Amino acid sequence: MDFESWLTGFTDGEGSFIIGISQEKGRVKPRVRPIFEISNQDLTILEKIKDYFGFGSIREGKNGVYDFYTKNIEEAAKIADFFRKNPLIVKTKEFEAWCRVLDLIRQKKHLSEEGIKLIDSIRPKNLHPRSLKRHPRKEYKMSNVCPVCGKRIVRGHHH
Amino acid sequence: MDFESWLTGFTDGEGSFIIGISQEKGRVKPRVRPIFEISNQDLTILEKIKDYFGFGSIREGKNGVYDFYTKNIEEAAKIADFFRKNPLIVKTKEFEAWCRVLDLIRQKKHLSEEGIKLIDSIRPKNLHPRSLKRHPRKEYKMSNVCPVCGKRIVRGHHH
Q: How far is B85 from chain A (nearest CA, A)?
A: 9
**How far from A147 is each of A25, A65, A109, A112, CA to CA, in Å?**
20, 46, 18, 13
pLDDT in tens, A59-97: 998 888 999 999 899 999 999 999 999 999 999 999 999
Q: What is the pLDDT of residue A130?
A: 62
Question: What does the mean pLDDT of chain A come to?
Answer: 87
What span, in angstroms and rounded, lies between the C-alpha atoms of B76 and B98?
9
In this complex, the residue of A9, A41, A45 whose CB is nearest that of residue B5 is A9
Q: In what order do the strands lie in the sheet with A57-60?
A: A15-22, A31-40, A66-69, A57-60
ipTM of the complex: 0.81
DSSP code for A140: P
Comparing C-alpha atoms, which of B35, B36, B25, B30 is closest to residue B110? B30
**What is the CB neighbour count within 10 angstroms for residue A107?**
10
pLDDT in tens, A7-26: 999 999 999 999 999 887 77
Report pLDDT digits (tens) over B148-159.
Answer: 666 665 566 666
Under DSSP, is residue A36 helix (H, G, I), strand (E, B) or coil? strand
The two most distant CA atoms of chain B are separated, in Å, by 67
Q: Which range has highest mean pLDDT (A115-124, B25-34, B46-55)? A: B46-55
Cβ proximity of B128 and B14 under 8 Å: yes
Position A125 scores a pLDDT of: 76
pLDDT digits (tens, 9 = 90+) for B60-75: 988 889 999 998 999 9
On whether the CB atoms of residues B66 and B59 are closer than 8 A, the answer is: yes
Cβ-based contacts of A7 with chain B (< 8 Å): 9
Number of DSSP helices (H) and strands (E) in chain A, helices first: 6, 4
Residues of A with Cβ-Cβ distance to B8 under 8 angstroms: 1, 6, 9
Segment A105-121 shows an average pLDDT of 93
d(CA B99, CA B118): 14
Distances (CA, A) of A51 to A46, A55, A57, A142, B68: 9, 7, 10, 38, 32
With H, G, I as helix, E, B as strand and everything else as coil, classify residue B140.
coil
Q: How many residues does chain B have?
A: 159
Is pTM, for the whole model, over 0.90? no
Q: CB of A69 within 8 A of CB of A11?
A: no
Residues ≥6 apart with Cβ < 8 Å to B29? B111, B116, B142, B143, B145
Residues of B near A (Cβ–Cβ under 8 Å) read 1-14, 40-42, 45, 48, 86-87, 89-90, 126
Asked whether the predicted pLDDT for residue B136 surpasses 80, the reply is: no
Residue B6 pLDDT level (bands cut at 50, 70, 90): very high
